[in-house]
Amino acid sequence: MAIRIRKHSGSSGLLSRLSLPIFALIVTFIALFAAAASYILIRVQSDHSVKMAEQSMKFVYRNIEYQFDTMNNVAAFVLSNQSIENLLMNTYQEPYEAADDYYTLQTNLQNLSLLSLLNDFGSGNIAQQSYVVSVVLEPESGLYAMAPDHFYPTTGIFKNGDLQNQAWFQSLSSGKQQNAWWGQKTDSSASMIYSARKKASLKDGRSIGTVIVGADSRSMKGVFDNAPLDQGFHLLLDENNRVIYSERFDFLADTSQLPYVQHLTGTKGSLETKIDGETYRVMFETLKNGWKLLAVAPNSHFSRYTFAISAIGAATAAAALLIAGIWLRRIVVRVTVPITRLVTAIQRPEVVEFKEPLPTQRTGIYEVDELNQKFAAMLVTIHRLIEKSFTEEIERRQLQLELLHAQINPHFLYNTLDLINCRAILIGDRETSQIVRSLASVFRYGLNRGHTWILLEEEIKQVEAYLHIQKMMIDDLTFDIQIPSELLSATIVHLILQPLAENAIIHGFAERKSGCRIAISARLELGDLVLKVDDNGLGCDADQMNRNLRQQPVREDGLSHEAGSGYGTMNVHRRVQLHNGDGYGLRYVKVAEGMGTSVEVVMPFRPERALARKEAPLV
């Protein structure tokens, strides 16, 4: 009975410990997913609305520019047409002799005004509108005497007397502007847009008149009708911020005092502003003639589906949580109760010690039944795996030794080959030969026929060849190698000294170009062999470097590391430890500040005969 109570108590604890975290995880996941999905949908919808508004504005912008370009083309035709030039430049003894030329020019201007018939943008009255093409003559023109004294905003030929006080006419006459644009109402209350350019003689360049091209502002209505804003409006403003066209404002209404107009800076962009207590987005772009086109739309237009998307996301998340909670309860109960019973059974010492078989339990859950059936066999397998793991660990360490041994910096090879090439081109064969011989020595002793151990004498030859090559690249580099003759026959782990010398050159002499010195020595210390590498470079914090050697783990990702990055010295340190034990390796020695770096390699002293014993199993 007590056993049954213990099982029930254990099952309840496991059930509660699984249910609450899993349900919290599911709630968090569904909430984050619903929030992210809603946010993405809202952003997509908002961005789509903004993009549609921008495309609408671009459509309006391009078509208005097209109409303005057409007006410019009409003016350019009048300015450059040789026939019109001749009519304007002809001279007459009597005014009546100019009648035929006057009416000929009048007819030409009337024909040009019919170009507006080609610009139907969907408005019903566009085909009935015509451009107003007028020529205002200077006294230098032969037709001046025939022209009316007063200017009327209709197609025709006029004298310039009425226009002398107009600001746009004065700007053209003074040369401040090459092309003047303005809006103006006619006597018939028509809203007109005008463009004016000075007419100069093609022969002598003197001013003979002004070409004025006008168009009814209603000709642009079709453009705006084809790109409407559902809840906003457009504004076409001249250089003085007066309305040329808008669905909300009257023609030539002054908008200079509107806050969002005052804040327009640059040639294009967008800003947010308050209009009647609601936030609006104002997008604007400047036309070639200096006028500004604005599209004003409320932010609610861009986020009109935000609430609906949020509500759908919340409802979906709630439904998903309800369904997940019901299924989670059923799944956890079916899994935890059999697992609790299984744990109670395997806690018995007789089962663990293979004295009794694991009790058979039919739960109806495939995984739990398989776990119950295979547990006994798994216990036996664990013992075997422990032995196998021990063997694999030994093999892994051996492979790691080979990997660390293979991590040689390839940049030295590339730099040396580049030096050989440059010297072969720039100087004679003697120095090139010397470099090649030194490089060959580095390779010969560096490869060492694949052996892990090498005589100290051969290691010295290898680092000496390396330093000879570095000396050719660094003009003021000197090195001194002092090894007692009785230590040359000692056997050491291969490739120890070169990474330390390379580290001194890369880091110690990084900012030093003269007086570079490296010293290599060896001694016996309490039965151990100590190899020492000194340099007079930048120096380092010996205590910090020793802490790094003790704390930095071995890289097991199989990647090579450059010697100068810190992994070169760590490579040497770990290889010495792996072959000789954790009591050996590198140690940095404190030196006076500014006196460089001193690093020592400590390893057991092995006479030459130990090499044969060590390498014998590899033969």
10-residue mean pLDDT series, the chain (619 residues): 39 60 75 74 66 81 88 87 84 81 86 60 44 87 85 85 86 85 81 88 82 84 79 86 88 88 87 82 89 85 62 78 74 69 68 62 67 66 65 60 50 58 62 63 57 86 86 85 92 89 86 86 93 91 90 49 55 86 92 89 81 40
Torsion sign over Cα 262, 268, 271, 273: positive
pLDDT, position 394: 65
Using alpha carbons, select from 173, 212, 178 the residue that is nearest to residue 195: 212
pLDDT at residue 220, rounded to an integer: 78
Q: Can you tell me whether residue 345 is helix, strand or coil?
A: helix
Q: What is the pTM of this model?
A: 0.45
pLDDT score at 533: 95
Phi, psi of 488 (to 5 degrees): -65, -25
CA atoms within 13 A on the CB side of 152: 9
The C-alpha atoms of residue 309 and residue 577 are separated, in whole angstroms, by 64
* Number of Cβ within a 10 Å radius of residue 600: 19
Give the three-state DSSP class for 557: coil
Q: Are 448 and 486 in contact (CB under 8 A)?
A: no
- Which pLDDT score, from 0 to 100, does residue 585 have? 93
| Identity at 112, one-letter amino acid code | L
pLDDT of residue 594: 80
Residue of 77, 196, 90, 97 lying closest to 141 (CA atoms)? 90
Helices (H) and strands (E) in the chain, counts: 17, 17
User: What sections of 96-142 are H helices per DSSP?
Assistant: 99-113
Q: Which of 560, 553, 566 is nearest to 599 (CA)?
A: 566
Report the sign of the C-alpha dihedral through residues 540, 543, 544, 545, in that order. Answer: positive
Secondary structure (DSSP) of 472-494: HHSTTEEEEEE--GGGTT-EEES
User: CA 302, CA 294: separation in Å to the nearest integer?
Assistant: 17
What SS3 class is residue 356?
A: coil
Cα separation, 430 vs 578, whole angstroms: 43
What the block records as the tokens of 496 is: 């120890």
Tell how strand 292-298 and strand 180-185 pair up.
unpaired
Give residue for tokens 């847009």.
Answer: 193
With contact defined as beta carbons under 8 Å apart, do 179 and 96 qualify?
no
| CB neighbour list of residue 27: distance below 8 Å, 6 or more residues apart | 321
Which token pair is 193? 């847009």
Could you say which DSSP state residue 617 is in? G
Helix (H, G, I), strand (E, B) or coil at 396: helix
Task: At 535, give phi and psi (nearest 5°).
Answer: -145, 160
DSSP, res 508: I
What the chain holds in terms of domains, given with CATH numbers, is: 81-116+128-221 (3.30.450), 349-407 (no CATH), 478-551+569-604 (3.30.565.10)
DSSP secondary structure letters along 358-389: PPP---S-HHHHHHHHHHHHHHHHHHHHHHHH
Token digits for 82? 């040789």
Written as one string, the DSSP assignment of 404-467 is HHH---THHHHHHHHHHHHHHHHS-HHHHHHHHHHHHHHHHHHHGGG-SEEEHHHHHHHHHHHH
**Strands 516-525 and 477-482, sheet pairing:** parallel
- The helix, strand and coil proportions of the chain, stated in percent and rounded to the nearest 5, come to 55, 20, 25
CB-based contact 78:320 (threshold 8 Å): no
C-alpha separations of 523 from 342, 482, 490, 519 in Å: 65, 10, 11, 14
C-alpha span between 508 and 480 (Å, rounded): 16
State which amino acid sits at residue 265.
T
What CA–CA distance (Å, rounded) separates 216 from 67?
A: 11
> How many residues appear in the chain?
619
List, in sequence order, every residue forming a beta bridge with 213; answer none if it has no partner: 133, 195
The C-alpha atoms of residue 388 and residue 82 are separated, in whole angstroms, by 103
pLDDT, position 354: 60
CA distances from 356 to 6, 338, 347, 370 (A): 21, 20, 12, 18
- Burial of 205 (C-beta count, 10 Å sphere; 0-12/13-18/19+): exposed
DSSP, res 203:
T
Burial class (CB in 10 A: 0-12, 13-18, 19+), 566: middle
